[in-house]
Amino acid sequence: MVGTFVGNGYLEAPASVLRQPERDMLSLIAGCPIGPLTPRNCEHSGELLRLLFASWQLLPSITDAQMDALCRVLAASDYARLQAARLALIAFAKVQIVACRPLLNALHEQGLNYSLLKGGATAFLLYPEPHMRGAWDIDIGVDRGDLKEAEALALKYGYVSAQQDRETNRFFRADTRLKASVEAAHYELGFLVRRFQITNLPPATVEAIRSEPFTHQYWFDTANDFPCCYASVDIHHAISLDIPLRDLLAHARTVSFGGDTLRVPDDAWLMAHLVFKIYWEGVHNYGKCLYEYADLVRLVPHISERDFDRMVEILTIYNLLAAGHYVFRRLHLFGIEVPPRFAGFIRETGVPPLQADPIRINDLGDMWPKIWGRR
């Protein structure tokens, strides 16, 4: 079995065996039923809630059926907190989507060379409704030659150049000199945000926002009947300092959603970017990027042989074959069938090139234990 082959190295390491809350998380990420449907002890209930809050981007995608199952397994107080956070974050995700659509239309109408990136693209491509893929912001890639015009359009449609107070999570107008120095050394513009006071939230959502402290990093003025939040766009002129956008934009495709015309990456670049982000964030942090597997496990069944081959070419060009190996070899743990071409890739990349320098080939080790906050 492919699953046994790719998984044994991890599952047999005693310090890394998945606990019940972690197995529950894998099921929720993949959109599968959790089990067994028996009450978790207090420790496991609290740990599952902590994992869900750490991957809050996942909460809007949790189905009503999954919530019913969670009601049966979580402690009552933990379930109440999850239920409130889910309501609040669904509303927050909807604001992000509604806010960005006029700007995306304008980018298209002005003929700018752009594409949605990362969660901004997968939200429209891989989920029944785009708000089911939560995110802090909407990422947009723009050709460097169109960068100033794209920024001007964002400002025209109500976004403001801003920086964030890390203590309060509120935004304030950016210091122009600091903004210029940061952007000169980076691959994206500084924060572009809009503040919204939402006047039509259902009473249950207003109460959820007010009652659950976790949501107060996304929602503000929560004592009022009309809380506010920020919508943000992140405009990139490269994927990273080492990965330009040129080829991604050249292969971007046009899709329609609700009467809007949007540009998104092809599946090859969509998957390559996911591999890069999961691996790079995962290997450099503890307890991050697990939620991004939700995008990956939804994309895997749909990628064609041609796009898979192109994705491997992209990983090869940008020295990300080791990243692909580590990321893909965990797919079976989410309960999905690992296609033969993925299994073949995992086998072929299982041994590094002879006398290779790990740093030069971006082989920084397995990110999987770190994703769970372990070594």
Around Cβ 231, how many Cβ atoms within 10 Å?
Answer: 22
The radius of gyration computed from the CA coordinates of the chain, to the nearest angstrom, equals 21
> What are the φ/ψ torsions at residue 257 (nearest 5 degrees)?
-145, 120
Q: What is the pLDDT of residue 181?
A: 83
Q: Give whole-number Cα distances, 17 to 67, 99, 222, 244, 318, in Å.
A: 26, 42, 40, 38, 32
- In the block, tokens 């203590």 appear at 167
Question: CA–CA separation, 67 vs 94, rounded Å?
Answer: 20
- In the block, tokens 């082959």 appear at 5
Give the tens place of pLDDT for each residue, 5-17: 344 333 333 334 8
Give the tens place of pLDDT for each residue, 195-242: 999 999 999 999 999 999 999 999 999 998 999 999 999 999 999 999
10-residue averages of pLDDT along the chain (375 residues): 38 59 96 93 97 97 96 98 98 96 95 96 96 96 96 96 92 86 84 95 97 97 95 96 97 93 97 98 96 97 97 98 98 94 97 93 96 93
pTM: 0.93
Which residues face 262 on adjacent strands? 255
Q: What is the pLDDT of residue 171?
A: 93
> What is the residue-wise DSSP string for 44-75?
HHHHHHHHHHHTGGGGGG--HHHHHHHHHHS-
CB contact at 8 A, 14 and 20: no
Structure-derived torsion over alpha carbons of residues 80, 371, 120, 337, reported in degrees to the nearest 10: -90
> What are the φ/ψ torsions at residue 307 (nearest 5 degrees)?
-70, -35
Q: What is the pLDDT of residue 2?
A: 35
Question: CA–CA separation, 143 vs 159, rounded Å?
Answer: 20
